[in-house]
Structure 1
Amino acid sequence: MVKRVVVLGCGAWGTATVKLVADNVKSSKEFHEEVYWYVRDEDCNGRSLTTWINQEHINPKYLPTLDIPSNVSASSNIQKVVEEADIILVSYPSCYILWLVENVKKFIKDGAYFVSFCKKVVEEADIILVSYPSCYILWLVENVKKFIKDGAYFVSFCKGLILCPEENRIKLVSDVIREQTGKSCVVVIGATTAVEVAKQHFTEATIGSKNLTYAHEVKRLLQSDYLKLVITQDDVGVELCGALKNVVAIAAGICHGLDLGDNTKAAVLRIGFWEVSELMKELFPDRGMFAFTSIFHTSFY
């Protein structure tokens, strides 16, 4: 069966993602050639954003110099995008993940899965790529969940954690997607920037998923000459490191700015990653060993 891939999120990462996927599926017999793209429509220089994308093949708001392939179909109708999706790629800010999941879960078909990351755009999708800031995920999921067909799944590129004060806990973006939609969610995380991916600079990232069938499918979908992907089943470790590493990076940057020397910077990195590992155990004590995190943190000893 040829699988349909959709992308949710039209920021810089969403734009880079949709180009990468659209280029890859053109030569694939495994995935549908047309890629649906959910775009929150707005006016840009007197024309709607979807019109710019579908007619001029550019996103004038984000990465305006990037040519968007002609096999990309942008829509502001969330049902159309997700209800036939098999793989849903999510690129949203983590603070919006709850909204996102709440809005898409009623449209997702059985068997679809997320990679963690509307009514008329998702209804035929098999794979839904989400590239939204995490702060919008709740909004996004709320709008697409009712349209997603059986068998579809999500792929999330979202970096961040979601604070749920009503439950007095912090949640992963992928957990919110799974809980709200009942669909699987694969995460793709790395030290990456959208602009450099769009420019086809060499980039490496990690796919985290307990389901290796989905993980390898996502790798076939996304990997290219300039994007290399590795797979781990430690999806929790990958997602948490993607969010928490930035705290350590800021501390290392302060050391550099104050000219404290390489020894101090190395100490901040080593202790910082150890603290990340300990925090992960505290936040998710029921998730078992973090294989990815152990490699991540012991490499500094």
Structure 2
Amino acid sequence: MSEKVALIGSGNWGSAVAKIIGGNVHNFEHFDKEVKMWVFEEQVDGQNLTDIINTKHENVKYLPGIKLPENVVACPDLVQTCSDATMIVFVVPHQFVAGVCKQLKGKIPANCKAISLIKGIDYNDGGFRLISDMIQDALGIRSCVLSGANIASEVAEGRFCETTIGYRNRNDGELFRDIFHTPYFRVNIVEDVIGVELCGALKNIIAIGGGLVDGLKLGDNTKAAIIRIGLAEMRKFAQMFYKDVRDATFFESCGVADLITTCAGGRNRKVAEAHVTTGKSFDQLEQEMLNGQKLQGTSTAKDMYKILSKKGLCHEFPLMTTIYRICYEDLPPIKLVEDI
């Protein structure tokens, strides 16, 4: 039986991986060659974005200049995109996962499995959940996680990098490696879904700190210190709440490599730098700078602060706590290095 892949999401990262998956399904006999990609329908120059993608084979809004394989078919209907899929790739902002799962419940094949490329955690009054757990619980399917030092534009251009897939079921991990691994996008699989996922979520908070360092012009030594302290807090949090998280995972692409690249480039760093240099709020800068994309670092910092404050742990995580206060309580950015 052939595997059929569907993508949920079509921003810059979703479009970049659509290029990879659309090419890779031709390399294996056990994959259906059509890859449907759910696109939130919007107008671009008076045309539906799905129509543009399906005729020009390019996501002109979120990944301009990059050609997508012709077997990647944009679809505005979520259920139709996934109704016959056996492998679903989730790549939407984490705020939308619950709504997507609600629409898909009971409408996908029983043998389906998922992979989350989403950076974030879900917080509610009862505590927090990993995105992969949300998907598994809502849809009754297993979910892997992919995370790594993967700036979307560089991946789309075919520049060499690595990524990490965390799996619970090795066969699932190997299947998802088949659709992602290329000579320039090297995939390693590890049996640590939780560690991979938490690295991907928490590093966005630290990237805000990296951008604040740049805006304050504090230099490379300071940024290196923020990265080191940030990695230590990420590891401490993961192992405090999940005893099975492996130390080795923090030395995978999803860990230290992703933290370095996110603090050097990417949207969280860029917007945080602009916060210092312009004095504008993060919300305003998100609107002005991100072309409709979401800023994950600030929302994850808020979720983390709720978790830490509820459990009386803020003093144990001074860097993440200070970044939250700079983002949401108008704490002066220089406090980044004074309060940790």
Matched, 1:241 2:199: yes
- The alignment partner of 2:168 has SS state of coil
Residue of 243, 246, 251 corresponding to 2:209 = 251
Residue type of the partner of 2:97? Answer: I
CA contact (8 A) 1:57 1:69 kept: yes
* Structure-2 residue corresponding to 1:119: none
- Structure 2 counterpart of 1:290, which letter? R
Q: Which amino acid aligns with 1:178?
A: Q
Q: What TM-score, normalized by structure 2, do the two folds share?
A: 0.70
Say if 1:234 and 1:292, in contact at 8 Å, map to a contact too.
no
Q: 1:199 to 1:263 in 2, by over 3 A?
A: closer
> How many angstroms apart in 2 are the aligned matches of 1:105 and 1:42?
25
Aligned-residue offset at 1:190: 0.7
Note closer, same or farther for the CA distance 1:60–1:269 as it changes in structure 2 (3 Å cut): closer
Provide the rounded CA distance (Å) in 2 between the counterparts of 1:267 and 1:238.
22
Distance in 2 (CA, whole Å) between partners of 1:65 and 1:80 is 28
Return the alpha-carbon distance in structure 2 between the equivalents of residues 62 and 252 of structure 1.
25
**Matched residues, percent identical?**
35
Q: Which residue of 2 aligns with 1:69?
A: 69
**Displacement of 1:264 after TM fit?**
4.3
Q: Which residue of 2 aligns with 1:187?
A: 145
Matches of 1:212 and 1:179, distance apart in 2: 20
User: Residue by residue, what CA displacement relative to the aligned partner does 1:213-261 show, whole Å, maximum 9, x if unpaired?
Assistant: 1111111111112100111111101110111122233334444555556
Residue identity in the other structure for 1:31: F
Q: Which residue in the other structure is 1:222 paired with?
A: 180
**Contact 2:43–2:49 (8 Å) recurs in 1:** yes
Match of 2:171, SS?
A: helix
Q: What is the distance in 1 between the residues matched to 2:99 and 2:166?
A: 23
Higher strand share: 1
The one-letter code matched in structure 2 to 1:181 is L
In the alignment, what sits opposite 1:49? 49
Q: Per the alignment, in what secondary structure is the counterpart of residue 110 of structure 2? A: strand
2:244 corresponds to which residue?
288
Cα distance between partner residues in 2 of 1:53 and 1:255: 39
Q: In proportion to residue count, which structure has more helix?
A: 2
Q: TM-score, normalised by structure 1?
A: 0.78
Question: How far apart are the structure 2 equivalents of 1:59 and 1:261?
Answer: 37
Runs of 5+ consecutive residues of structure 2 not aligned to the other structure = 258-340
Question: Per-residue deviation at 1:70?
Answer: 1.1
State the 1:2 CA deviation: 1.2
CA distance in 1, matches of 2:231, 2:149: 15
Q: Work out whether residues 5 and 89 of structure 2, in 8 Å CA contact, stay in contact via their aligned partners in 1.
A: yes
Partner Cα separation in structure 2 for residue 17 and residue 248 of structure 1? 25
Q: Which residue of structure 2 aligns with residue 145 of structure 1?
A: none
Answering whether residue 109 of structure 2 is matched by residue 153 of structure 1, we say no
Alignment check: 8 A CA contact 1:237 1:292 kept: no
Tell me, in whole angstroms, the C-alpha distance in 1 between the residues paired with 2:203 and 2:56.
38
8 A contact 1:236–1:290 mirrored in 2: no
Give CA-to-partner distance per residue, 1:8-59, whole Å, 9 cap, x none.
1011111111111001112321211111111121222222111111222222
The 2-side partners of 1:4 and 1:48 are apart by 25
Matched, 1:103 2:87: no
Partner of 1:135: none
State the alpha-carbon separation in 2 of the partners of residues 294 and 193 from structure 1: 18
Asked if 2 retains the 8 angstrom alpha-carbon contact of 1:188 and 1:208, the reply is yes
Alignment partner of 1:207 out of 157, 165, 170? 165
In structure 1, what is the equivalent of residue 226 of structure 2? 268
The CA distance in 2 between the partners of 1:293 and 1:226, in whole Å, is 21
Task: Pick one of 173, 183, 191 that aligns with 2:131.
Answer: 173
Report the 3-state secondary structure (helix = DSSP H, G, I; strand = E; otherwise coil) of the residue aligned with 1:178: helix
Q: What are the within-5 Å matches in structure 2 for residues 1-20 of structure 1? A: 1-20=1-20
Match of 2:28 in 1: 28
Match of 1:18, SS?
A: helix
Structure 2 CA distance, aligned partners of 1:62 and 1:261? 32
Distance across 1 between alignment mates of 2:87 and 2:29: 15
Say whether 1:163 aligns with 2:141.
Answer: no
SS of the residue 2:133 aligns to: helix
Q: Which moved more, 1:247-256 or 1:289-298?
A: 289-298
Is residue 147–residue 196 contact of structure 2 (8 Å, CA) maintained in 1? yes
4+ residue runs over 6 A deviation: 296-299
Match of 1:224, SS state, is coil
Change (3 A) 1:199 1:289: closer
